C-alpha cells in the first residue's frame, strides 16, 4: 500500500525498487473489472515492475497504463491522479516490511482514509473482522502477530479506502505453506464481497491456478503467453510455460526464488537476440536466434513463439 506522504514507506519502496530493477517491453494486457489477472514469471521477469506501474509507483518511459479511462502514465492533473490512486491499493510480499512497527494496528489500518481526511469511525474494527482478526487486535503492534496475521492487517489496510483494484505482489510467498491457502481463500472471499479486481503477481503458477481468470506469463520483461488457467495448465503453448509447469520454482529459506534446473535467466540488461528464451528453449531453431516472435492468437490463447501451434 503506497502513500506519497509517508517517507518511511517510501524508503521501503525505494529499497525494493533497487533490488528488483527490471526492464519491461511491449507488454500489453487488459484486466476485466471484478476479475483476477495473474502475472507469472521468475525473478527478473518484470512482474513487480509492472505492478508498480499499475499503482503509479513507477512511470513507464513509453506506453499507457489506463485505469478507469485515465492514463496514469501521462495524466498530470494531481487531483485526478490522487482519486485513481485511492482506488488502487497494493499488497506486498513481506507484510512486516510494509507495516510501521511503531503504530498500533488500528492506526495502520485507517491510515489511508485518515490521511485523506475521511471518516474512520469504527473502520478498523469492521475491517479486522472482515479479514478474520478480532476487534481486540486493534490496540496491538505489528510484532505481536504471525506472518499470516500481518498479511491480513495489510489486506485490511488495503481495503480501508474501498479500492476497486488491488495489486498483490507475491502476497503469500513469505508465508508458511499451511498459511498460504488461508490467505488466498480470504482474498478470494473478499473479492466476491467487495467486487474487487486483482492483479496477482507470483513466481508460482500453482499459486495462481485457482485464483486467476486469466494468466499472463512473463519472460525477461515480455509477455510470452496469455490464457485462461484451464487452457494454460492443460495445453500450454509456449515452451517456457511448459518448463514452468514441469519445474515450478521454489522459495528457499530466505524467501528468494530458486531457479528451475534448466539454465539461468539471462541478464535483462543484455537479453539474447531474437526470442529471448532461445538459450533455454529445448526446441529452438535458427529463426529463434534471429527474429523476435510476435504475439499471435491461437484458439483464444495469446502466445509469442515461432513454433507454437
Task: List interacting residues with ligand SF4 (CB under 6 A).
Answer: 238-239, 275, 277-278, 281, 283-284, 288, 293, 305-307
Partner whose footprint covers residue 92, from Mg ion, ligand SF4, none (CB < 5 to 8 Å by kind): none
The nearer residue to ligand SF4, 48 or 241, going by C-beta atoms, is: 241
How far is the C-alpha of 111 from the C-alpha of 3, rounded, in Å?
Answer: 9
Residue closer to ligand SF4 (CB basis): 133 or 303: 303
Shortest CB 85 distance to ligand SF4, Å: 37
Q: Is 22 in the site for Mg ion (CB under 5 A)?
A: no
Tell me which of Mg ion, ligand SF4, none is bound by residue 70, counting a contact when its beta carbon lies within the kind-specific cut-off of 5 to 8 angstroms: none
Residue position matching grid coordinates 528488483: 20
Q: First vs last Cα of the chain: how many Å apart? A: 41
Contact indicator for 220, 46 with CB cutoff of 8 Å: yes
Q: Residue 237 touches which of ligand SF4, Mg ion, none (CB < 5 to 8 A by kind)?
A: none
For the bound state, the minimum distance from the C-beta of residue 1 to Mg ion, rounded and expressed in Å, comes to 16
**Calpha distance 250→207 (Å, rounded):** 11
Residue 134, CA distances (Å) to 8, 11, 105, 144, 178 in order: 27, 30, 11, 13, 21
**Closest distance of CB 243 from ligand SF4, Å:** 10
Distance CA 32, CA 84 (A): 17
Contact 278, 293 (CB under 8 A): no
Among Mg ion, ligand SF4, none, residue 277 binds (CB under 5-8 Å by kind)? ligand SF4
Which of 22, 48, 149, 197 is the binder for Mg ion (CB under 5 A)? 48
Q: Coil, strand, or helix at residue 10?
A: helix
Q: How near is the Cβ of 278 to ligand SF4 at its closest, in Å?
A: 4
Kindly state the smallest distance separating residue 236's Cβ from Mg ion, in Å. 22
| CA–CA distance, 133 with 127 (Å, rounded to integer) | 9
Contact set with Mg ion (CB under 5 A): 48
Amino acid at each position: 500500500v503506497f502513500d506519497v506522504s509517508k517517507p518511511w514507506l517510501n524508503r521501503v519502496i525505494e529499497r525494493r525498487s533497487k533490488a528488483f530493477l527490471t526492464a519491461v517491453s511491449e507488454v500489453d494486457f487488459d484486466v476485466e473489472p471484478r476479475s483476477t489477472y495473474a502475472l507469472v514469471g521468475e525473478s527478473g521477469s518484470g512482474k513487480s515492475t509492472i505492478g508498480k506501474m499499475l499503482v503509479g509507483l513507477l512511470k513507464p518511459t513509453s506506453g499507457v497504463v489506463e485505469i478507469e479511462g485515465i492514463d496514469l502514465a501521462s495524466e498530470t492533473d494531481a487531483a485526478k491522479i490522487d482519486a485513481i490512486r485511492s482506488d488502487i491499493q497494493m499488497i506486498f510480499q513481506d507484510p512486516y516490511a510494509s507495516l510501521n512497527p511503531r503504530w498500533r494496528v488500528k492506526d495502520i489500518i485507517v491510515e489511508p482514509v485518515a490521511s485523506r481526511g475521511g471518516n474512520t469511525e469504527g473502520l478498523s474494527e469492521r475491517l479486522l473482522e472482515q479479514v478474520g482478526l478480532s476487534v481486540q487486535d486493534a490496540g496491538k503492534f505489528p510484532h505481536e502477530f504471525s506472518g499470516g496475521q500481518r498479511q491480513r492487517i495489510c489486506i485490511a489496510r488495503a481495503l480501508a479506502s474501498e479500492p476497486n483494484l488491488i495489486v498483490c505482489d507475491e502476497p503469500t510467498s513469505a508465508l508458511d505453506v499451511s498459511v498460504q491457502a488461508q490467505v488466498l481463500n480470504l482474498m478470494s472471499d473478499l473479492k466476491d464481497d467487495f467486487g474487487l479486481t486483482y492483479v496477482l503477481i507470483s513466481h508460482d503458477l500453482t499459486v495462481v491456478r485457482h485464483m486467476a481468470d486469466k494468466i499472463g506469463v512473463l519472460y525477461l520483461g515480455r509477455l510470452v503467453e496469455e490464457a485462461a488457467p484451464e487452457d494454460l495448465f492443460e495445453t500450454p503453448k509456449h515452451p517456457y510455460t511448459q518448463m514452468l509447469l514441469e519445474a515450478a520454482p521454489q522459495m528457499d529459506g530466505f524467501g528468494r526464488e530458486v531457479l528451475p534446473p534448466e539454465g539461468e535467466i539471462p541478464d535483462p540488461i543484455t537479453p539474447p537476440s531474437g526470442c529471448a528464451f532461445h538459450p533455454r528453449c529445448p526446441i529452438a531453431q535458427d529463426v529463434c536466434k534471429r527474429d523476435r516472435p510476435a504475439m499471435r492468437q491461437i484458439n483464444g490463447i495469446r502466445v509469442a513463439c515461432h513454433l507454437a501451434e
